[in-house]
A and B are shown apart, each in its own frame.
Chain A
């Protein structure tokens, strides 16, 4: 009963996806729409195969940028949260700027960054700006959510700051940190794409977003769709991998990772 329900839940979106593709292809064929207006899914798939050498290279570039932005966001966000946790003064002085950086749309910051930084650096910085805040705010929340009695216990046994941090605060904050990282993964991809788009064809980039912009100018619509498809898949895979890591790390003890039956 339960497993069949589970199968249906997995199957339904696939069925919807297949139906949408079929409908799309049918509309294109029946109305004889030209590929430079709207290519059908078959044409998009064909382009994906034909242009694979170009597209795969672009995918690699975008993924590398995303990864660099993500790692920078993870390290920066966690490190900043740890600093804030150790010193209230630092938190009071710097936290407002982290918020400002977060609420200012990155698409508006990107052109400025592109003036002052090399394009590759600017793209990574954009990914970092978008992605570091959820890591920072989640880690801060986690570090402040430590059980008071447990903190008292550490105090009773004369724990040092480092011991309290590594044996108590970090493990307690782990579910929050992992939640932040899960959001940051998708956001760093968005940041990378935004910066590539802002750089546009004027830039020397070769990422997927650059391919979309460039193909647009050339009216190579099927390639635009193919590149978009790859971006989408990349986003799904990033989210899936981070969710899996989170589950594997937390499965022994945290409510979020426990099955419903236990």
Chain B
């Protein structure tokens, strides 16, 4: 196996994340990813789309440092957040992944508690994060008392509470109904514009990726590589009108066409 490496980008770099020749082969021998070269600018909203098992989630886990690359380097800009004493990466999973035994407030507190943040400072940041996702009055509720969309909002608040520079989202809205998903899409866009975070968003929905992103990256079937890239140069800010515009439909068709070969190889897909 080649060298495993991760490094930090300079504080002055315009890049938030940089992957160079990254591959991931699991212990079972399955080649999940790569080689992949990917640069994400600070403040950019990038989506990764691709068929199931194309390594989209693996790419996120590599960037988060939850797993090490088999070869290549993963570089993440940590400095900006660490200067502020904050954790640089927030992660939102496909499931809300909340602790059922803890209230909404305690769930959101978790990253701060693990970092031994002072209580008074933590309380203020929890209030802010909950307000950002519109759940201020549900702080004392327990996860089981919330709807699927609200649980996802708690998960988002937890990712935001450390004020990270980079937000990694792994098909976060896939299990939600369409109306709820659209609302969360809009709220996420509003947050992204306001907070100026770098967002890397994994989805299998072409429509969702085009609606949200500045750049859509289409992955090939396993082992996942970058098949095509599209810059979604739509007018900002986007809203419900964009969702029904011809421009939007055009982008969706382009991305769908690029995605078709990845599915062609899959029997019955």
Interface residues of A (CB under 8 A from B): 147, 149-150, 152-159, 163, 167-168, 171-172, 174, 252-254, 258, 262
Contact = CB atoms under 8 A, between A and B. Distances in A.
Interface residues of B, number: 24
Contact of B99 (A150, A155, A156, A159): A150
Interface in B87-111: 87, 89, 91, 93-95, 97, 99-102, 110-111
B144 interface: yes
Interface of B: 61, 64-66, 87, 89, 91, 93-95, 97, 99-102, 110-111, 113-115, 142-144, 162
A172 B101 CA distance: 8
Contacts of A172: 99, 101
B142 A159 contact: no
The 9 closest A-B pairs by CB, nearest first: A149-B97, A157-B114, A149-B93, A253-B100, A171-B101, A159-B114, A157-B111, A253-B101, A152-B66
Contacts of B142: 252-253
Contact of A157 (B61, B87, B94, B143): B87
A179 B78 CA distance: 44
A76 B142 CA distance: 32
Q: Is the interface of A mostly helix, strand, loop or mixed?
A: helix
A154 B87 CA distance: 12
15 contacts: A149-B93, A149-B94, A152-B61, A152-B91, A153-B97, A156-B64, A156-B66, A157-B111, A157-B114, A157-B162, A158-B114, A158-B115, A167-B114, A254-B101, A258-B144
A117 B196 CA distance: 71
B110 A167 contact: yes
A148 to B, nearest CB: 9
A230 to B, nearest CB: 38
A94 B106 CA distance: 37
Contacts of B64: 156
A155 B114 contact: no
Nearest to B89: A156
Nearest to B112: A157
Contacts of B143: 253
A163 B64 CA distance: 20
Nearest to A164: B114
Given A150-B97, A159-B114, 18 more contacts: A149-B94, A152-B66, A152-B93, A153-B97, A153-B110, A154-B114, A156-B66, A156-B89, A157-B111, A157-B162, A163-B114, A167-B110, A171-B99, A171-B101, A171-B102, A174-B101, A253-B101, A253-B143
Nearest to B61: A152
Nearest to B65: A156
A153 B102 CA distance: 15
A252 B145 CA distance: 10
Nearest to A158: B114
Contacts of B87: 157-158
B91 A168 contact: no
A200 B69 CA distance: 67
B110 A157 contact: yes
B100 A157 contact: no
A258 B144 CA distance: 10
A252 to B, nearest CB: 6
